[in-house]
Amino acid sequence: MNITTTYMGLKLKNPIIVASSGLSKSVDGISKLADAGAGAIVIKSLFEEQVLAETQEIEKHIGLDSHTEALDYIRNYGSQNSALEYLNLIKEAKKAVSIPIIASLNCISSKGWIDYAKKLENNGADGLELNIAFITNDPKSDSKEIESKYYDIVEQITQQVSIPISIKLGPYFSSLAHFTQGLKQRGVQGIVLFNRFYRMDFDINKIDLVSGSRFSSPREISLPLHWISLLSSKIECDFSASTGIHDGEGAIKLLLAGAKTVQLCSTLYKNKFTRIGEILKDIEEWMNKQNFESLDSFRGKLSRGKSDQSEKFDRLQYIKAIVGIE
Ligand SMILES: Cc1cc2nc3c(=O)[nH]c(=O)nc-3n(C[C@H](O)[C@H](O)[C@H](O)COP(=O)(O)O)c2cc1C
């Protein structure tokens, strides 16, 4: 039985990728995840915002308010130092494990995106996942303007680096089909659907803001399942599923939808890393039972493009005549 796959040109021994998170922020964590059977690992994102915050912290401690030359030096030193730790992690991870290592980047300046992307490539990352997200509450910003910010970042990076680039998106787009097509045309090779952002909540007793649940539940799988099944046969790009994949059944569903790989995060926090082996075993047992020799022999079987029930993929509203519920 063959459970190997390719993902944005990288060869993976299986379709399970560990998603970007604190689990992959150290060489020790990365080695344990590789030993547990992961096909590839996305490293915790390098946040330019965090690098800048750390630099400002150094400035505060040293108390350089007015001496511009010294301040420039400290700023430069601070940002290089924090980024250096990340670059070192990539280098050490590459020495420690033999599976592909994908770096993850979240920047706030266009210079940041390009500088860091190049450095990550030079330090041995096999691929780069761009963790791009803008939230806007400005009624003057239209969707075209926001989408073009993504396009600009992608164009600049794909012109500068030659490792494969994926983009991890949130679900808030008016036309995800058009937008992802545009990303593909600009050189993106992988699309990760979806990032699960920090969720805010309200405490009605304290009348205050609190954080929502940090981890997903398996029920949240329906969003990537629907969108990957809609897009996988339309957009010629490798889709990686993220959010709500907690077990073998979830992983199989996303492969049936057309995903090349599935990313795990919450389930690895909640369970042990042995979860990876359990999911792989479930996939193999199911393939055996269904007489599938390889992932390619069933991948996308339930995608909209291959299904004879396409109207069910396009349905959003409940109408009694069709879904039996009013
Ligand atoms: C504690 C924690 C840290 C995370 N850090 C990152 C990160 O640095 N970059 C990123 O792109 N996603 C990050 N994520 C999002 C995950 O990669 C993943 O997309 C999300 O948790 C949904 O997948 P899941 O349902 O398997 O948890 C983080 C998630 C958690 C729970």
Determine if the peptide bond prior to 173 is cis (ω within 30°). Answer: no
Q: Are 266 and 216 in contact (CB under 8 A)?
A: yes
Is residue 222 within 8 Å of 244, Cβ to Cβ? yes
Mutate to test the pocket of ligand 1, among 16, 17, 18, 21 (most ligand atoms within 8 A of CB): 21
Q: Is the CB of 131 under 6 A from ligand 1?
A: yes
Task: Name the β-bridge partners of 193.
Answer: 169, 241
Residue nearest to atom 12 of ligand 1 (CA): 20
Residue showing tokens 């794909």: 158
SS3 label, residue 52: helix
CA angle, 190 then 175 then 111, to 5°: 55
- β-partners of residue 130 are 105, 167
Domains of the chain: 5-323 (3.20.20.70)
Q: What is the pLDDT of residue 51?
A: 72
Query: CA torsion angle for 56, 57, 61, 63 (degrees, to 10)?
Result: 20
Distance 19 CA to ligand 1 centre (A): 6
- Considering the entire predicted model, what is its pTM? 0.91
Of the pLDDT bands very low, low, confident and very high (cuts 50, 70, 90), residue 79 is: low
pLDDT tens, 14-73?
Answer: 999 999 999 999 999 999 999 999 999 999 999 887 776 665 555 555 555 555 655 555
21 alpha carbon to ligand 1 midpoint, in Å? 5
pLDDT tens-digit profile of 115-155?
899 999 999 999 999 999 888 889 999 999 999 999 999 99
**Which residue matches tokens 């007489």?**
291
Read off the amino acid at residue 13.
Answer: K
Measure the CA–CA gap between 133 and 151, rounded to whole angstroms. Answer: 12
Distance of CA 47 to the CA centre of its chain: 14
Q: Which atom of ligand 1 is nearest to the CA of 269?
A: 31
How far, CA to CA in Å, does 84 sit from each of 10, 25, 92, 162?
25, 14, 12, 21
Predicted pLDDT of residue 146: 93
| Three-state DSSP state, 188 | coil
Task: Determine whether the shortest distance from the Cβ of 229 to ligand 1 is under 6 A.
Answer: no
Q: What is the mean pLDDT of residues 142-170?
A: 95
Which residue type is seen at 261? Answer: T
